Chain A
Amino acid sequence: MIGRRLALGALMTGFLGACSKVAASGPGANLLGAVERWNEAAHRLITSRTALAREFDRSDISPTFRGNGNTRPDAFDYAMQEASGFAGWRLAVTGLVERPLSLSLDQLKAMPQRSQITRHDCVEGWSAIGEWTGPQLGPILRLAGLKPEAKFIVFRCADNFRGTPYYESIDLVDAFHPQTIVAHRLNGEPLPIKNGAPLRMRIERQLGYKHAKYVTGIEAVASLADIGKGKGGYWEDSAGYQWYAGI
């Protein structure tokens, strides 16, 4: 029995060793990286660019909406903003655009609004359902006028992890998706601080870490290589999470 256990242990160790060797080798790492692209390609193949994530009824809304990651930015500026009810908050639209914008919350609320009751799926595995309200990102980008070389939209945020600012990015398919909104309300109330007050993104066909909170800026870029560490988002840079988070 001991011999069998030893053999099993040796087999497991060998298997794990082989796996870490594969992951560390150039082709192995490429293969693991390629999987993300297969997933994205397969999803794009079987869904239309504008296919909607399921929208639920009010009765499906979860009793609370969990706050995860940063639940309160620690910057002094943010505390000042909070004290004034975010009256001075601006959303900058910059980068590869014809007309850079700086929008106030009132201006965003004056635009046509979309409300959607959707399920939020965290990469960790949990889900919550809430009703989000805000202007669609597409019309904001059209107002600013994307230059033809713009390929990605980057979201700049007021929160940071030990000094490294949070950011996220999406491609233009998701940027112009009808359910991609700059939300300022959750369940009919102003966005709670733990959920990203005063503005957060909703990228409904992807996992939670793509839905940047405490958004201060929207930047159109041609490449993600020069932003942060070049992987397209805080968690992508710092822990190797997948940039395409549709699965």
Chain B
Amino acid sequence: MAPPPSPPRRHALSTRLWHWVNFACLAILFMSGLNISNAHPHLYWGEWGFDPRTAWLTLPEFPGWATIPGYYSLAEARLWHFLAAWPFALGLAIYLVVALWRGYLRDFILRRDELRWSTIVADLRQHLKFDFAAHHGRFNLLQKYLYIAVLFVGLPLMILTGLTLSPAMGTAWPWLLDVFGGRQSARSIHFIVSWGLFAFFVLHVLAVLFSGPIGQIRDMITGGRKPAETTS
């Protein structure tokens, strides 16, 4: 069979661009967010909360090597946070539109048997044995669940809870405050989900390390070749 003029890529250009822009944005958002957390490291539920004695969680002080900038500055950390928040939010919106338009989101559709508990447990067992090979379609089950959770729940929640923290946005879209049960609840959710995304990042990097990291990273940069049909 003669090779087509442009071989089908494993990762579309829009996916690759978004992946790396998103990586830079999330790294800056997370690390500047830890600096912001140091300003008042106490979390509350509801609209108000200001007394550390009534906090449901008090956080440790995050060290300079984990924060942006590398020393405590709430003012500068906020600027970094907003600088990364714009391309992060716009990038997610554009990616979701492009992915929907070009049909990439079909890869995430769960089949009926994939909703069954026994299938999920079997897939988890397989992962714990570092066996990533057997799966139907593009993604294996754990990947599907994780990517759905990150793309459609985690990342949008970060943007929406982040907006809820802004007093001007509370004026523009007060319904956001109702959705999250108040500003301090939104702040708690913002923090919890950010660590959820960090946990995803750790799993994601581990999965890459155990599945041929050089090839994986190369393909996410150059696009790679679409593998032969693996669906059963």
Please list the residues of chain A having a beta carbon within 8 angstroms of any beta carbon in chain B. Answer: 12-13, 15-16, 19-20, 23, 31-33, 35-36, 38-39, 43, 46-47, 51-54, 56, 60, 62, 64, 66, 119, 121-129, 204-207, 235, 239-242, 246-247
Contacts and interface: CB of A to CB of B under 8 A. Distances in A.
A240 B86 contact: no
B28 interface: yes
Given A240-B73, A240-B76, A247-B82, A62 B48 contact: yes
Given A38-B86, A47-B171, A246 B166 contact: yes
Contacts of A247: 82, 165-169
B83 A35 contact: yes
B65 interface: yes
B51 to A, nearest CB: 7
Given A47-B168, A246-B168, A126 B69 contact: no
Contact of A127 (B48, B65, B80): B48
Interface string B23-37: 000011000000011
Given A207-B167, A240-B75, A119 B70 contact: no
A56 B47 contact: yes
B74 A62 contact: no
Say which size band chain B's interface belongs to: 35 or more
Contact of B79 (A20, A36, A62, A126): A36
A53 B177 CA distance: 12
Contacts of A36: 79, 82
A210 to B, nearest CB: 10
A200 B127 CA distance: 60
B168 A126 contact: no
B74 A43 contact: no
Given A12-B65, A35-B82, A127 B183 contact: yes
Contacts of B217: none
Given A16-B68, A127-B50, 20 more contacts: A16-B70, A31-B83, A32-B80, A35-B83, A39-B82, A47-B171, A53-B171, A66-B51, A123-B78, A125-B39, A126-B42, A126-B48, A205-B167, A205-B168, A207-B167, A235-B75, A241-B75, A242-B75, A246-B168, A247-B165
Contacts of A235: 75
Given A47-B171, A47-B172, A51-B171, A124 B184 contact: no
